[in-house]
Amino acid sequence: MDHLKILGVKFLLIYFSVLALFELFEGATMGVILWMSILVTIISYVVGDLFILRQYNNLTASLADFGLTFISLWLLANMYIGGGSAIVVVSLLSAFFIACCEPFIHIHMENKFMESRSEVRALNRLQTEFARETDVHDIQSNSEYSKRP
C-alpha cells in the first residue's frame, strides 16, 4: 500500500509538471500528457527509486532521476507531439522541476522501505576480535592446568 501512495505522489508531481509546461509551450493534448506522465512515472520509479536509490544515496538517485526523466520526456514528446528545439528546453525544465522534488520522495522511501545506511555499513564492516595470546609452554607450566586429573 505504501508503494501505491508513493507512486501516486510521484505521478501527481510528474503530471502537473508536464501539464504546466508541455500544454503551455507545446499545446499538447490531455491524453498525450496523461500517457507521458504514466510512462515517465513507471520508468522513474522502477529504475530510479527501486534500483538506483537502494544501491546508492539520495543525491545519486536524484541526479539519475533528472537524466532519466529528461531523456524519457524528450523521447516521448518527440514521438507524440513532434520534434523541435523547444521540446528539448521544455523537457529540461520539466525534468528540473521534477528532480527538485525527488529528494523528498527518496527520503520518504528510505524511511519506509530501506534499512538504515549505518546498519548496513555496520554489517559489512569487518569485526576484529581482541584476545590475549597464550603460549603453549605457559599453559603447561601454569599450576592450574598441570594439576588437572
Q: What is the mean pLDDT of the chain?
A: 82
Q: How far apart are CA 78 and CA 48, in angstroms?
A: 22
Residue 120 has pLDDT above 50, yes or no: no
Report domain extents, the chain. 2-117
Give tens-digit pLDDT for 58-99. 899 999 999 999 999 999 999 888 777 788 999 999 999 999
Residue 148 has pLDDT above 90, yes or no: no
CB of 77 within 8 A of CB of 91?
A: yes
The pLDDT of residue 25 is 83
Residue type, 100: C
Q: How far apart are CA 74 and CA 76, in angstroms?
A: 6
Give tens-digit pLDDT for 3-12. 888 899 999 9
Give tens-digit pLDDT for 98-118. 999 999 988 888 888 776 555
Is the torsion defined by CA of 49, 50, 51, 53 positive or negative? positive
